[in-house]
Chain A
């Protein structure tokens, strides 16, 4: 079965720098034979987490909207590429809104103890963070990494790699960046080949 790759575009700005970088990754994955799907968060209808903690009792979110459907897709994918531009030193409110909604998975794991990702499962599920920032500062992505780590931990993915490019203002867009798009395409192919090998291991779970 083909490796499944899910791209999640967290930018409100369609076909901007971040989504273009994600597209390049997905093109690379597709060229390597993966089954690829892209979800654009701004086209979905979901609310941020309301902090009601009802999921702490049931393990389910009481709000039934596109976020839950998307989490089902995330849990079914072999690889997820989560993309967000840096706004105010962090990920966008759209992506943060989605990530916060994963609280019901946290509750299943840590309160109800009915969800468990084995080490073998985690090594066969790779997560990548794709991001661009206008500023040139080296620390401009630092505020995003911890939240992305929490997201991958909560959904059973190994935090496999970052594809990040700053100085977008200086370059006047990702298309003028010397290496980013090529690097992203190549990483898309690489992760699919790695996952193919892992999936082919004898007697292993999905």
Chain B
């Protein structure tokens, strides 16, 4: 099973592996363009994570995931769930179950693409659970044992091109009980045309390194 990535359109079960200590990795490929630069970057990280036989990976392409924007109705503050019935119903449980959550996004107009922003905004249900209803998002023993990864690519070369996207990603991880210090970032600017990231000098090796580092850290924390 090494290196295998199971891609789900939300209707197939998680890959289960014969292991005493499976590490559940949940990855959101946020770009509407399939297999472009940001998703390639994600695939590199996932392939490197998947080298470890204890790792079970599920990748969800947000463009196919049917996650609507938040309606701003605040009903989740009372109901502890969203009133919308869509792809988020399934994603919600997967977010809670994951040991590591990765989100990849291209930068469009200096921000997250709309598909990723919709996912981030729909995490409002976790915010309501945590801060309004004062209920646990994950069991207490799993706090501090969840890691987050944000991967982004941008066509522009400006070094500030990711600045507006990061705070929204921090919000998502904050309400899903991934601590700020437990988010890793790999953001590559100056890649625009499909495949441009392939000729980037460091992106692939940095992605592979990141995958290994995150899994090693998770194993340490889960064993503790």
Q: Which residues does A use to contact B, with CB under 8 Å?
A: 11-13, 16, 48-53, 85, 87-94, 96-97, 99-100, 102-103, 139, 142-147, 149-151, 154
Within 8 A of A (CB), among B120-160: 120-121, 123-124, 160
- Cross-chain contact of A147 among B36, B73, B109 (Cβ < 8 A): B109
Whole-angstrom CA separation of A85 from B74 in the bound complex: 14
Q: Would A12 and B69 count as touching, CB distance under 8 A?
A: yes
Whole-angstrom CA separation of A52 from B108 in the bound complex: 13
Interface residue tally for chain B (C-beta within 8 Å):
35
| Chain A residues with CB under 8 A of B109 | 96, 99-100, 102, 147, 150-151, 154
Of chain A, the residue at the smallest CB distance from B193 is A53
Q: Would B163 and A146 count as touching, CB distance under 8 A?
A: yes
| Chain B residues with CB under 8 A of A12 | 69-73
Q: Would A50 and B33 count as touching, CB distance under 8 A?
A: yes
Which of B111, B118, B123, B160 gathers most chain A CB within 10 Å? B111
Q: Would B114 and A90 count as touching, CB distance under 8 A?
A: no
Whole-angstrom CA separation of A96 from B70 in the bound complex: 13
| Chain A residues with CB under 8 A of B63 | 50
Stretch at the interface among B7-15, B19-27, B165-173, B208-216: B165-173
| Chain A residues with CB under 8 A of B160 | 146
Q: A48-B32, A143-B167, A144-B164 are in contact. Are A92 and B111 (CB under 8 A)?
A: no
Q: Would A90 and B164 count as touching, CB distance under 8 A?
A: yes
Q: Would B167 and A48 count as touching, CB distance under 8 A?
A: no
| Chain B residues with CB under 8 A of A13 | 71-73
Whole-angstrom CA separation of A44 from B128 in the bound complex: 28
Interface residue B76 (Cβ < 8 Å from any Cβ of A): no
- Cross-chain contact of A48 among B36, B115, B120, B171 (Cβ < 8 A): B115
Q: Would B106 and A51 count as touching, CB distance under 8 A?
A: yes
The contact sample of 10 A-B pairs, CB cut-off 8 A, is A51-B31, A51-B33, A51-B36, A52-B33, A88-B120, A89-B168, A89-B170, A92-B70, A100-B109, A143-B167
- Which 5 residue pairs are nearest across A and B when measured between Cβ atoms? A51-B33, A13-B72, A93-B69, A89-B167, A48-B114
In addition to A88-B168, A90-B112, 6 A-B residue pairs with Cβ atoms within 8 Å of each other are A49-B32, A88-B167, A93-B118, A96-B114, A146-B111, A147-B111
Q: A11-B72, A13-B71 are in contact. Are A100 and B114 (CB under 8 A)?
A: yes
Distance from A34 Cβ to chain B, minimum over Cβ atoms (Å) = 27
Q: Would B121 and A92 count as touching, CB distance under 8 A?
A: yes
Interface residue B1 (Cβ < 8 Å from any Cβ of A): no
Of chain A, the residue at the smallest CB distance from B170 is A89
Q: Would A51 and B113 count as touching, CB distance under 8 A?
A: yes
Of chain B, the residue at the smallest CB distance from A146 is B110
Whole-angstrom CA separation of A48 from B163 in the bound complex: 22
Interface residue B117 (Cβ < 8 Å from any Cβ of A): yes
Q: A48-B113, A48-B114, A88-B121 are in contact. Are A147 and B164 (CB under 8 A)?
A: yes
